[in-house]
């Protein structure tokens, strides 16, 4: 997730990372991580093992940061519940993985290289 400010609200964090901020903490699938001090980007990212990397070495004005995916469990998946995936097709039509519920899905990653 790319951000131009480290002040972020919980809704934007959910949209960008898939982690929803609930009363019991930051939650994804069937996993919740308590946030004793409530939500802010830096402390929540730290608890979830998400790296925050500035776009430039200019500490005063890096202009942009990237927040990496969670690493708190040491595995790419914290839950077997498939995360939401929102993508577009060639014509720009939006598609959501959750729209496939009720069918078996084979998600095949390829690339033109």
Closest CA to 39 of 70, 61, 14: 14
Scanning 5-13, 19-27, 35-43, 92-100 for contacts with another protein by CB under 8 A, the matching segment is: 92-100
Considering only residues 52 through 91, tell me which ones interact with another protein, judged by CB under 8 A. 52-53, 55-56, 64-71, 73-83, 85, 87-90
Does 101 contact another protein by CB under 8 A?
yes
What minimum distance in Å lies between the beta carbon of 54 and another protein?
8
**What minimum distance in Å lies between the beta carbon of 87 and another protein?**
4
Q: Does 16 interact with another protein (rule: CB under 8 A)? A: no
The burial of 92, by beta-carbon neighbours within 10 Å (0-12 exposed, 13-18 middle, 19 or more buried), is given as exposed
State the DSSP code for 78: S
**CA distances (Å), origin 29, targets 2, 94, 100:** 23, 23, 17
In whole angstroms, the minimum distance from the beta carbon of 15 to another protein comes to 13
């Amino acid at each position: 997730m790319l951000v131009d400010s480290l002040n972020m609200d919980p809704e934007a964090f959910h949209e960008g990372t898939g982690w929803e901020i609930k009363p019991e903490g930051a939650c994804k699938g069937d996993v919740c991580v308590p946030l004793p001090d409530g939500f802010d980007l830096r402390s929540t990212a730290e608890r979830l093992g998400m790296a925050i990397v500035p776009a430039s070495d200019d500490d005063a004005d890096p202009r942009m940061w990237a927040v990496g995916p969670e690493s708190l469990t040491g595995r790419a998946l914290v839950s077997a519940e498939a995360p939401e995936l929102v993508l577009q097709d060639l014509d720009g039509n939006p598609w959501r993985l959750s729209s496939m519920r009720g069918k078996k899905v084979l998600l095949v990653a390829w690339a033109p290289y």
